Amino acid sequence: MNNRSIRLIVGILIALVLLSLVFYSNQSRKRRFNWQPVYKEASKEPYGTFVIAQLLSNYFPGKGFEVLKDSIHGRLPAQSASGNYVFIGEALFMDSLDVQTLLKFVENGNTAFISSRTIPHDLMFYVYYEECNENYWDDYAGLEDSTVRLNLDHPNLQAVQHYSFIYKFRNKIRTYNWSHIERDYFCAEEFSLQALGSLNDSLIHFAQVRYGKGTFYLHTVPLAFTNIAMLDSLHLPYANRVFSYLPPGKIYWDEYSKTSEAVGRRRNNAGNRALSEENSLQYVLSQPPLAWAWYLLLSLGLLFLLFRAKRRQRVIPVSVPNTNTSLEFVSTIGRLYFLQNSHKKLAMQKMKLFLNFVRERYHLRGSETEADEEFLTKLAAKSEVSRAFLERIWRQHRNLSKSTENSAEELIQFHYTLEEFYKKCK
């Protein structure tokens, strides 16, 4: 066998490896989940936040929902007093300009809801008062466990049974470091932290602190608002009760302060103590395109050594990768994609939002299944919408909830009916 034949065989093998990698990469993207906690608003992965972002986008009908994909400096209204800043992520990365922008936003009477496992020290320097037991703010504490129980302290929001959250990675239960706030940070001062929720009965995971005319809400378990948690019907009431603390107003969803651009900008600040170091290889392996390039480079190097170190031999056939057809994998696909396309569940959620709108604006409480005569009479009088139109809303919802198979046309018609009500009501 001459050198030309050897080069031809090596070229064919390299082409086969490349095709196999491309095919396996495409199949992996179709079938496998990314179990890393990305918290992205558009991510439908287990630890993305697509579901909660969709719910919040219609949480206050007519108030607006805006995703901030760049620095919040210059994007949060400085004078408005009816806005809600929402951040859900692993950690909040802000420079001095963003910190001052958020502080001014809350000081003018707005609300900031921050759910993260860590929080910048230079933000808490202004929010937390050291006069409370003369404790210097350090960071959230941690509890190692696979499962935690969450609940709220307010009598009207407290559940009879705690909400249990289990940490899973690649569909297996794993130990997780659950963050919470030390009790030493709470005292009786007017502007000190106030506990709003408990973790495992004795620890605090949800608190508020007044700042100027507004309020900061600090939540230490962002996993509670990810897709894998929100698609469990037992966890939806918890999220609804937590976000019931937000006053009606436009919601500003901060997508930027959890991105790599914000992390890189924050790392340039030498005074930051909250960020951990990450070597180059960890960053490469965390990015799917770079990871595939790295594995391809290693494969080509191995092929080169194999053909240079051994004598000439027959071409080794390329092994076809195994196909993952486990029932457990199919079950997870069904939960994260099929269930959220259910017309019946979407109709039920829209009805809940409608009843919440009626309760907040007209102080009337109605049932999802049937509306009594007194309720319809009062709602028609207060909203100035005809009784027949209101009966149509409950009739369409009843048809959708009782039917086992709902068409997209029925759901669209129900949506248009509710939208028409929002436009007509006074």
Structural domains present in the chain: 50-267 (3.40.50), 342-424 (no CATH)
Cβ neighbours, 10 Å, residue 60: 22
Q: Taking the mean position of all CA atoms in its chain, how far away is CA 342?
A: 20
- In this structure, are residues 252 and 86 in contact, taking their beta carbons and an 8 Å threshold? yes
Cβ neighbours, 10 Å, residue 53: 23
DSSP sequence for 140-155: -EEEEESEEEEEE-ST
- Nearest CA-CA partner of 217 in 139, 130, 118, 111: 111
Task: Give the N- to C-terminal CA distance of the chain in Å, as an integer.
Answer: 88
Q: Quote the tokens at residue 143.
A: 């509890």
CA 133 – CA 335 distance, rounded (Å): 47
Token look-up 């071409």 returns 315
Half-sphere exposure of residue 214: CA atoms within 13 angstroms, side-chain side: 25
Model's pTM, two decimal places? 0.58
- CB contact burial 133-167 (16+ within 10 A = b; e otherwise): eeeebeebbeeeeeebebbbeeeebeeeebbebeb
Going by their DSSP bridges, the two strands 194-199 and 83-88 should be labelled as unpaired
Cβ neighbours, 10 Å, residue 385: 18
CA 159 – CA 151 distance, rounded (Å): 7
CA 223 – CA 165 distance, rounded (Å): 8
- Nearest CA-CA partner of 116 in 146, 88, 139: 88
Report phi then psi at 88, rounded to 5: -130, 115
pLDDT in tens, the chain (426 residues): 556 666 666 677 677 667 766 665 555 454 467 899 999 999 999 999 999 999 999 999 999 999 999 999 989 987 777 899 999 999 999 999 999 999 999 999 999 999 999 988 889 888 887 666 666 777 899 999 999 999 999 999 999 999 999 999 988 999 999 999 998 888 866 678 899 999 999 999 999 999 999 999 999 999 999 999 999 888 999 999 999 999 999 999 999 998 755 555 544 443 343 334 445 676 677 677 888 888 888 888 777 776 665 555 566 777 766 554 444 543 443 344 335 556 677 777 788 888 888 888 998 888 877 778 888 888 889 999 898 898 888 888 888 887 766 667 787 888 888 889 989 898
Structure confidence at residue 233 (pLDDT): 86
- In this structure, are residues 258 and 39 in contact, taking their beta carbons and an 8 Å threshold? yes
Is 52 exposed, middle or buried, given 0-12, 13-18 or 19+ CB atoms closer than 10 A? buried
- In this structure, are residues 356 and 381 in contact, taking their beta carbons and an 8 Å threshold? no
CA 263 – CA 285 distance, rounded (Å): 17
Structure confidence at residue 344 (pLDDT): 72
Residues in the chain, overall count: 426
- When computed from its CA atoms, the radius of gyration of the chain, rounded to whole angstroms, is 27
Q: Quote the tokens at residue 356.
A: 């919440």
Task: DSSP letter for 91, please.
Answer: B
- CB contact burial 241-250 (16+ within 10 A = b; e otherwise): bbbebbeebb
CA 290 – CA 283 distance, rounded (Å): 9
Specify whether the backbone of 281 is left (phi greater than 0), alpha (psi in -120 to 50) or beta: alpha
Structure confidence at residue 397 (pLDDT): 85
